[in-house]
Chains A and B, each alone.
Chain A
Amino acid sequence: MRSKIDKILLIILLIAFSVSIYLIFQWVPQIKASNPAEQIAQRIFYFHVPSAWLGFLAFFVVFCASIAYLATRDRKYELISVASAEIGVLFISLVLITGPIWAKPVWGIWWTWDVRLTSSLILWLIYVAFLMLRRYLPDGSKRANLSAVVGIIGFIDVPIVYYSIRWWETQHPKAVMASSEGSLAAPMFFAFMFSLATFTLLYVYLIRKRYQLLTLEDTLNKQFKEMEIL
């Protein structure tokens, strides 16, 4: 049953990704930009923003699973929170990589201490620390408790970080950032939403797989222990 759902998901994902790649690189019309590099770089946006969305979604799941864990002490929720944190860090890493790739041709710089960049970086740091903490602690209910506490504090801190950096930014006007965004044209909007949906589906698939793997590890470990006992 479980593997059947996974198989269907995988097939849908393969199709959806093929379609979104077609939409992004073929179907969406070229934007009008003076800089030819910008025209190409702009298409990163369809991967960059969904990755960021996926990161936030993943960290929100960490937050919910942490609360659920402290309420129930069920190992299940601990495993969900770890799986989600790992996926979140992966996709925020992608955000931090694709961001500069876009920024270099468009803004002429790799990095600027802009609110979105800086808060993504701090977000990434928070959850890397979360995963590091888990590596330093031995498995057991103590580790589950401690990481759930950090999972809760970390997520509540996220909007505060964003808020503070946005505030800081208004105090320090920047030279770059000529607003090239504006509103999206209809085909662009469609391609973007399609990509967003595809990424969300990818998250569902990844967390299912990662969770299954973690449960398998547990079962295997227990069976080894049993064998010692018998």
Chain B
Amino acid sequence: MMRTAISILQKDLRMEFRSKESILAMWIFSLLIFVIFNFTFEVSRLVMLEIAPGLLWVAFVFSGMFGLNQSFALEKENGNLRAMALMPVDGGEIYVGKFFSVTLIMLMFEALIFPIFIIFYDLQLSLGMFRLIPVLLAGTIGFTSLGTILSAVAVHTRNQQILLSLLLWPLVSPIIIWSVTLTGMILSGEVTEAFYPLLLRVGAFDVIFFTLSYMLFDFILED
């Protein structure tokens, strides 16, 4: 059933791990984000803790944009997007393949970025931090479910990177707003009863965005 989606995922991950330089570049880049922010906003440690969740998501979102741009540039390179349109499967299945590959790659970046973040902001690791896992998952899936379909749109233009930002940022802003809030609750150790309903809400919008993109992807492949 999902044979094509799995093949696309395998192929993407294989290529991603082959270009180790780009993973390294991404990691260094996020390191730079923390460094630059530290000097542009010279704030006390207390304020820093307050803006830290936002900062973390800025780094995540940049890495996600990087992954999306790279992934779809590869598909455009040798006309592979047309090859996908010719495949004997629904566009939705191709969407699923690309979605899982960009999501896994973004999660991998997040796993690489998070330890630096902990060290730079001297955060105390605690058991409560495990609650970050569903938050990161929900936020990332929201970002990539829209990001995948909009990258496939933007890749048809000459200015793929700028256009993807223009399309994706405003549309994905609700997911980012909630993810930052949820992350803030965990990092400050003030997880209120609002936490789980909010997390559920992000999850619900993930489902909406994913389903919508799944249904519409066929039209993007068509000429």
Contact = CB atoms under 8 A, between A and B. Distances in A.
Asked whether the complex places CB atoms of A and B closer than 8 A, the reply is: yes
10 contacts: A133-B163, A137-B157, A141-B222, A145-B220, A146-B219, A149-B149, A150-B153, A153-B212, A157-B171, A164-B174
A125 B205 CA distance: 20
Nearest to A158: B171
Interface of A: 70, 122, 125-126, 128-129, 132-133, 136-137, 141-142, 145-146, 148-150, 152-154, 156-157, 160-161, 163-165, 167-168, 171
Contacts, number: 82
B173 A156 contact: no
Given A129-B170, A168-B177, A152 B208 contact: no
A156 B212 contact: yes
Interface string B186-223: 00000000000000000001001000110010011011
Given A129-B166, A152-B216, A164-B173, A136 B149 contact: no
A161 B222 CA distance: 30
B156 interface: yes
B124 interface: no
B44 interface: no
Contacts of B220: 145-146, 149
B45 to A, nearest CB: 22
- The size class of the interface chain B forms with chain A is 20 to 34
A161 B216 contact: no
B178 interface: yes
A70 B170 CA distance: 24
Interface residues of A, dominant DSSP: helix
A10 B182 CA distance: 53
A150 B167 contact: yes
Interface residues of B, dominant DSSP: helix
A171 B181 contact: yes
A161 B167 contact: no
A156 B205 CA distance: 11
A145 B222 contact: yes
B162 to A, nearest CB: 9
Contacts of A70: 219
A115 B3 CA distance: 45
Contacts of A167: 177-178
B158 interface: yes
A136 B157 contact: yes
A129 B167 contact: yes
Nearest to A133: B163
B173 to A, nearest CB: 6
Contact of A132 (B163, B171, B178): B163
Contacts of A152: 212, 216
Interface string B11-33: 00000000000000000000000
B146 A164 contact: no
A152 B216 CA distance: 9
A156 B171 CA distance: 10
Query: What are the 6 A-B residue pairs with the smallest beta carbon separation, nearest first?
Result: A164-B174, A136-B157, A129-B166, A125-B170, A145-B219, A129-B167
A154 B158 contact: no
